[in-house]
């Protein structure tokens, strides 16, 4: 690859970060090898688990050992989750014995649970220590690799959590006070199996830098730090956004995902929507007589049904995001519904006015609709209010229905809402037309 060769003698971590997304796996390994050792370590530690796996596997065995041992046990576990089972066994051999045991424990947890995110190494102390003793003891522990020592965890002999001391408190306290008198006992802990989305909410609610993970006996298994939560939040948002686009979520970056995998993630929903959309064809066939008598009706048809889809997609997006952030819960459905009924009428009337103006303008300018211009305008206007209202009601309630049925509310994507609304929108439009135009145009 041109770009990499050219700069071979002066590639910095910053350069590599810039071109990284554009490189293939092989190019990444080659370019990474050009970094100076210190740069390389910093760069490596900032990569995702997937990219770290690529780099490690790109090296021969003895070099691999060096890189994988740079990682904390939770990060090593992430890397091992990105490789094949064969590669996993090979890489496992490269870890030192205690880390291997820790990683094995971590791999047993679901990747997206508190247990799967935690680091088993954390600062600990005993309640009967004095503050001075505790600080000295922390200095000893710091020589080992600790994930964070911003909080220290006070444990009894059975490793059960008694309290938490923040460094700020420990440092601000007189040296001869006991740890038990300084520690916070109003504890926020996460069970091992807690889902990462719930865990992210726990962090947001309590504004904490780290949360200890405990088993069902209250014994501390590790801690999750807020920097891992940033990744969780990004991941969950990506998942929701992909679903909102009317497809299954990709787990790796778009350009790095196998082409056929991307197709598979898209074709499912696309086919479902297409088959669902066939309902519109059946509705159209039902109204074939009216359509053949007044072709002018078909002229406004795409415009009117699209408006229902658009207003519905706004409503579903608002509700889905509010649900993901826990701002709207199931029991709020009635407040949401009431709001969206009013929104639907308001927005519908505004579009109706624009629509009627369009019909009348064309009539004045081109004499487009003859004697029927007023009635046609009325048909378009009334239909728009109905279709937009249908859109906001359907769009806002679909996420609730999906959640009650234990599906992901984010599946109520803009395309899904449009498809749901299209056939009913057609029925509204063509029925209104029949009512208003029978005896004149029809």
Q: Choose among 280, 277, 276, 311: nearest CA to 298.
A: 280
* 298 contact partners, CB below 8 Å, separation of at least 6: 291
Q: Which of residues 210-249 bind a copy of itself (CB under 8 A)?
A: 225-227, 229-231, 233-234, 237-238, 240-242, 244-247
Q: Is 159 in the site for a copy of itself (CB under 8 A)?
A: no
Q: Is 329 in the site for a copy of itself (CB under 8 A)?
A: yes
One of 292, 364, 401, 404 touching a copy of itself (CB under 8 A): 292
Listed ranges 56-64, 108-116, 398-406, 416-424: which one lies at the site for a copy of itself (CB under 8 A): 416-424
How many residues bind a copy of itself (CB under 8 A)? The answer is 122
Q: How far apart are CA 229 and CA 199, in angstroms?
A: 8
277 CB-contact burial (10 Å; exposed 0-12 / middle 13-18 / buried 19+)? middle
DSSP string, 261-309: HHHHHHHHHHHHHHHHHHHHHHHHHHTHHHHHH-HHHHHTHHHHHHHHH
User: 179 is written with which tokens?
Assistant: 């740890």
Q: Is 374 in the site for a copy of itself (CB under 8 A)?
A: no
Q: Is 299 in the site for a copy of itself (CB under 8 A)?
A: yes
Q: Is 189 in the site for a copy of itself (CB under 8 A)?
A: no
Q: Is 280 in the site for a copy of itself (CB under 8 A)?
A: yes
199 vs 436 by CB, closer to a copy of itself: 199
Distance of closest approach, residue 407 Cβ to a copy of itself, in angstroms = 18
Distance of closest approach, residue 62 Cβ to a copy of itself, in angstroms = 26
94 vs 134 by CB, closer to a copy of itself: 134
One of 90, 108, 350, 364 touching a copy of itself (CB under 8 A): 350
One of 4, 7, 40, 291 touching a copy of itself (CB under 8 A): 291
Q: How far apart are CA 241 and CA 204, in angstroms?
A: 21
**154 beta partners:** 125, 163
One of 90, 278, 401, 435 touching a copy of itself (CB under 8 A): 278
The answer to whether residues 346 and 311 touch, using CB atoms and an 8 Å cutoff, is: no
Q: How far apart are CA 279 and CA 423, in angstroms?
A: 6
Q: Is 198 in the site for a copy of itself (CB under 8 A)?
A: no
The answer to whether residues 240 and 197 touch, using CB atoms and an 8 Å cutoff, is: no
115 vs 246 by CB, closer to a copy of itself: 246
Q: How far apart are CA 113 and CA 186, in angstroms?
A: 23
Listed ranges 98-106, 114-122, 155-163, 274-282: which one lies at the site for a copy of itself (CB under 8 A): 274-282
């Amino acid at each position: 690859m041109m770009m990499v060769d050219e700069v071979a003698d002066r590639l910095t971590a910053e350069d590599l970060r810039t071109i990284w997304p554009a490189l293939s796996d092989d190019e990444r390994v080659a370019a990474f090898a050009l970094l100076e050792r210190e740069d390389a370590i910093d760069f490596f530690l900032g990569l995702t688990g997937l990219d770290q796996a690529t780099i490690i596997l790109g090296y021969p065995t003895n070099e691999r050992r060096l890189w994988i041992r740079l990682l904390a046990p939770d990060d090593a576990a992430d890397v091992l989750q990105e490789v094949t089972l064969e590669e996993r066994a090979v890489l496992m051999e490269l870890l030192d014995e205690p880390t291997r045991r820790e990683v094995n424990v971590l791999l047993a947890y679901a990747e997206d649970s508190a247990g799967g995110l935690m680091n088993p190494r954390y600062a600990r102390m005993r309640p009967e220590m004095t503050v001075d003793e505790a600080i000295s003891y922390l200095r000893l522990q710091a020589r080992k690799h600790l994930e964070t020592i911003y909080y220290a965890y006070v444990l009894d002999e059975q490793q059960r959590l008694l309290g938490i001391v923040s460094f700020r408190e420990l440092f601000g306290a007189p040296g001869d006070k006991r740890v038990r008198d300084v520690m916070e006992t109003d504890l926020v802990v996460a069970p091992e199996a807690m889902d990462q989305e719930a865990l992210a909410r726990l962090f947001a609610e309590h504004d904490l830098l780290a949360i200890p993970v405990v088993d069902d006996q209250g014994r501390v298994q590790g801690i999750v730090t807020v920097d891992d939560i940033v990744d969780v939040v990004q991941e969950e948002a990506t998942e929701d956004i992909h679903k909102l686009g009317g497809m299954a979520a990709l787990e790796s970056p778009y350009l790095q995902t196998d082409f056929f995998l991307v197709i598979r993630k898209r074709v499912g929903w696309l086919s479902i929507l297409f088959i669902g959309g066939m309902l519109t064809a059946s509705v159209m066939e039902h109204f074939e007589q009216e359509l053949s008598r007044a072709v002018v009706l078909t002229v406004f048809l795409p415009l009117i049904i699209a408006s229902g889809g658009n207003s519905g997609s706004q409503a579903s997006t608002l509700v889905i995001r509010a649900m993901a952030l826990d701002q709207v819960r199931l029991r709020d459905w009635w407040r949401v519904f009431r709001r969206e009924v009013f929104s639907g009428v308001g927005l519908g009337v505004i579009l109706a006015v624009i629509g009627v103006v369009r019909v009348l303008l064309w009539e004045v300018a081109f004499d487009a609709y003859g004697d029927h211009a007023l009635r046609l305008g009325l048909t378009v206007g009334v239909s728009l209010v109905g279709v937009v209202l249908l859109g906001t009601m359907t769009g806002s309630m679909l996420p609730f229905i999906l959640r009650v049925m234990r599906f992901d509310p984010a599946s109520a994507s803009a395309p899904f809402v449009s498809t749901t609304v299209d056939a009913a929108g057609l029925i509204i439009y063509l029925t209104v037309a029949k009512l208003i135009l029978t005896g004149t145009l029809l």
